[in-house]
């Protein structure tokens, strides 16, 4: 189950605390200063600040009354048209408390709404513009119907850059009295891929065991193999040492508890770090995609991984 204690604890309460999305924050802050804003559509990967920025907007705009004027719903839990007809409409038809003339409804993961529910939402956004503003959050804006997109100011979030992830790690380490070495910080960033929520959850799991966070602890709790170990297995295959490469890969899977799909995704990243020419790298990436497809379709993962290692052997010959 996803741990959310730290995620809530370190959630920003001011615009200056939202990191990595400066241009978006600047534009949204201007709306809040005017106490007026259009409907907003936040699009981007998980864990980059969409929900956090929405809460900051509500807190800055409504002050102490923000909970009475802010409704948060997760559309992936309640995907149907009924949630729009009842919960959203009941909240939207009442006036806001305080000086701001509208309430805010935040719909998270709204790309999970059915097309019918999105059409109903479009009408609701149209009818209650005087009393309500919507903030819609999604991972893929292409799954939101055009009539809704045309009614919103669209903001596209990007994964957090390394410097911002390290900054957040340092802030947490200082607050929680943790000793995190440089390699552990690099590992946290590498595993999270710019997803701050994933980074915080892994770090919280590590802190529950030890106050000194090391690279080995991070990789073991994240169920991710060390890149150097995986690279060694691939280099053995390139040197025509198939049996040694296979044994090394199986040891990695057992030690870190990885599935075949987990290994494929990591191999795909490590291919680019191998000392072979670019054409062979591209062909091996193509093979990674083919093997992943076979696994998803139900093929035996060990046989497929052996097949992939055989391609590395042929590439090295």
pLDDT surpasses 70 at 2: no
CATH 1.10.8.60 residue ranges for the chain: 162-221
Alpha helices in the chain (DSSP H): 5-9, 22-34, 50-62, 81-83, 89-92, 115-127, 146-150, 162-176, 182-192, 196-209, 215-221, 227-238, 242-256, 260-270, 278-296, 301-316
Q: Is the pLDDT of residue 37 over 80?
A: yes
Q: Which residues contact 120 (CB under 8 A, 6 or more apart)?
A: 81, 84, 85
Buried b / exposed e along 213-249 (16+ C-beta atoms within 10 A): bbbebbbbbbebbbeebbbbbbbbbbeebeeebbebb
pLDDT at 145 over 80: yes
Q: So what's the pLDDT on residue 73? A: 81
Q: What is the pTM of this model?
A: 0.78
The confidence band for 99, taking pLDDT boundaries of 50, 70 and 90, is: confident
Determine the topology of domain 162-221 in CATH: Helicase, Ruva Protein; domain 3 (1.10.8)
Assign 157 a pLDDT band (cuts: 50, 70, 90).
Answer: very high
Average pLDDT score over residue span 230-241: 92
pLDDT at 308: 92
80 pLDDT tier (thresholds 50, 70, 90): low
CB atoms within 10 A of CB 95: 11
Query: Which pLDDT does position 78 carry in this prediction?
Result: 57
How confident is the model over 31-44, as a mean pLDDT?
89
Q: Is the pLDDT of residue 3 over 50?
A: no
CATH 3.40.50.300 location in the chain = 21-156
The Cα 53–Cα 12 span in angstroms is: 8
pLDDT tens figures, 111-135: 888 888 888 888 888 888 888 899 9
* Mean model confidence pLDDT for the chain: 86
Q: Which CATH architecture has domain 21-156?
A: 3-Layer(aba) Sandwich (3.40)
Task: Round to whole Å and give the CA distance between 125 and 31.
Answer: 18
Residue-wise pLDDT for 184-214, tens only, equals: 999 999 888 888 888 988 998 888 888 899 8
Over the stretch 162-171, which tens digit does the pLDDT of each residue have?
899 998 999 8
Q: CATH 1.20.272.10: which residues of the chain?
A: 227-316
Across 125-153, average pLDDT = 89
Out of 12-26, 27-41, 78-92, 281-295, the most confident range is: 281-295
Higher pLDDT, 60 or 88: 60
Q: Which CATH architecture has domain 227-316?
A: Up-down Bundle (1.20)
């Amino acid at each position: 189950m996803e741990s959310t204690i730290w995620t809530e604890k370190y959630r920003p309460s001011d615009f200056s605390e939202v990191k990595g999305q400066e241009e978006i924050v600047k534009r949204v802050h201007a709306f809040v200063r005017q106490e007026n804003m259009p409907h907003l559509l936040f699009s981007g990967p998980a864990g980059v600040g969409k929900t956090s920025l929405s809460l900051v907007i509500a807190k800055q705009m409504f002050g102490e009354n923000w909970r009475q004027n802010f409704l948060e719903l997760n559309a992936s839990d309640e995907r149907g048209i009924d949630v729009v007809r009842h919960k959203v409409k009941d909240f939207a038809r009442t006036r806001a408390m305080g000086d701001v003339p509208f309430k805010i409804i935040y719909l998270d993961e709204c790309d999970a709404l059915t097309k019918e529910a999105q059409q109903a939402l479009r009408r609701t956004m149209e009818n209650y513009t005087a009393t309500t503003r919507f903030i819609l959050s999604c991972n893929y804006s292409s799954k939101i119907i055009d009539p809704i997109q045309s009614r919103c100011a669209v903001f596209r979030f990007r994964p957090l850059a390394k410097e911002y992830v390290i900054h957040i790690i340092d802030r947490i380490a200082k607050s929680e009295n943790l000793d995190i070495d440089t390699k552990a910080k690099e590992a946290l960033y590498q595993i999270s891929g710019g997803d701050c929520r994933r980074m915080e959850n892994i770090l919280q799991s590590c802190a529950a065991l030890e106050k000194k966070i090391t690279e080995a602890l991070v990789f073991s709790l994240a169920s991710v193999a060390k890149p150097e170990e995986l690279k060694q297995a691939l280099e053995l295959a390139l040197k025509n040492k198939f049996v040694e490469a296979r044994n090394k890969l199986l040891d990695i899977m057992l030690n870190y508890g990885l599935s075949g799909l987990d290994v494929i995704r990591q191999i795909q990243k490590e291919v680019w770090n191998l000392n072979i020419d670019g054409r062979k790298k591209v062909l091996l990436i193509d093979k990674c995609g083919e093997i992943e497809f076979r696994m998803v379709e139900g093929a035996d993962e060990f046989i497929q991984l052996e097949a992939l290692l055989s391609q590395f052997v042929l590439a090295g010959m």
